Amino acid sequence: MRSLDSLKPGESGTVRGFTQEDAIAYRLMQMGFIEGEKIDVIRRAPAGDPIEVKILGYSLSLRASEAQTILIELVE
């Protein structure tokens, strides 16, 4: 498993959990980052932060520090 921030634009994965159970993880779960959901990395800002992803049919941007807490299994 890898963290979401390690994926490159065009790569996809499945959410497998979080590095820690805290307020950030809870907020991300409310936004749709639920175990088993497919996630696509759309693009990154030139400096690498934020990261735009697509999950549950909508796009959103995350800080790299938030993306580091999301554990992903790559989709081949």
Reported in sequence order, the residue ranges of the chain that DSSP labels E, i.e. its strands, are: 2-3, 12-18, 38-44, 51-55, 58-62, 70-74
Q: What is the pLDDT of residues 6-57, one digit of tens each?
A: 999 999 999 999 998 889 999 999 999 999 999 999 999 998 789 999 999 9
Q: What's the confidence (pLDDT) of residue 20?
A: 87
The total domain count for the chain is 1
| CATH code for position 20 | 2.30.30.90
Domain span at residue 9?
2-74
Question: Omega of the bond prior to 50 within 30 degrees of 0, cis?
Answer: yes
d(CA 66, CA 4) in angstroms, rounded, equals: 9
Largest separation between any pair of C-alpha atoms in the chain? 31
State pTM to two decimals.
0.89
Statement: residue 75 has pLDDT above 90? no
